[in-house]
Structure 1
């Protein structure tokens, strides 16, 4: 089974059985047929092989990026204009996606990048409350309630053929702290390399965006240079 088929099978199986806090709703883009078909197109284009890759973990999908397209850090605009996958979603940009695809361009383009990396999230499903994005760590009860789900999702994804000597974490604060605690317990990865979260960069450090792209390239190129 190819990497893409494993990913798509994983998406189909995603369902969160947990006692969620009041008012918290699960964002599961893969239930939507249109979204799932776009995921099929994307992953079949970039992951139609059996190559091993390094894992990058974000927080959880948001409503305007992966929560729409099903593809982490990929909004409808970049899905169409950069990845070449047409879609009828409203062409509204998501800040994290803007940064990630500028970085991917600097790295060598989507084909080279996705041949080396697989992007996911601590929670592959997103969360909303009062019609706003909710990060899993913003509610302690939510964070605790999804632990088994997070562990099982990581186990399943590691079976895709992911390398475990290094994992990259988008976020140097709470996301890193959670992943570190989880990894200390489960021993999934030998080393965690943290990078500033794309949203943080675009929202608070925009003037230094190019410097952060350079930082990303330095950190990520360490593993790709070992494969050349």
Structure 2
């Protein structure tokens, strides 16, 4: 099968194009990206009816809090709590984009065994479709990697919120003062540690620019109607 290999940040990606197994799809494209976690396994499949046998006895299917996503995708994982943490709004959105690109088609995603693998069939793989598939898959990888960031909690608004006990991933100490935040994934660092490391220390991020969080200013309480009328 035709194969493309390239570096993506600090990791390795491999793209393969091969003939699809089904008669109504001519080709299938798969991309495999290195993934640091080897013990956790998760499988995301659309449509739900295409699920196969699991290689693990402890795997469990689960649903998210989005009924529309649950209708289109089936998700199984060896550790449900980690699986739910993985499926942020950003990850779900990227999965939907992979499914909808070109003509809607099945999408298969597997995370585990030290890799993230995305597979999708095409009637005919044209260069624009291949480029879009690779870009969407890398964006999915980026969103999945953000769920592993230390000191960040991702909320429904898809904005990052600092946790009180944020730790610098370079030195391992609490970030109490002189904090800078990665412009891309919002991971906090000590300024000196960022400058020493040269970029964001979150695996797969590779952002070279940071922002300095602004100090919150006290806001005067609103005046009641009696005060405004006086």
TM-score, normalised to structure 2, is: 0.28
Q: Which has the higher contact order (CA 8 A, sep 6+)?
A: 1
TM-score, normalised to structure 1, is: 0.28
Specify which structure has the higher proportion of helix. 1
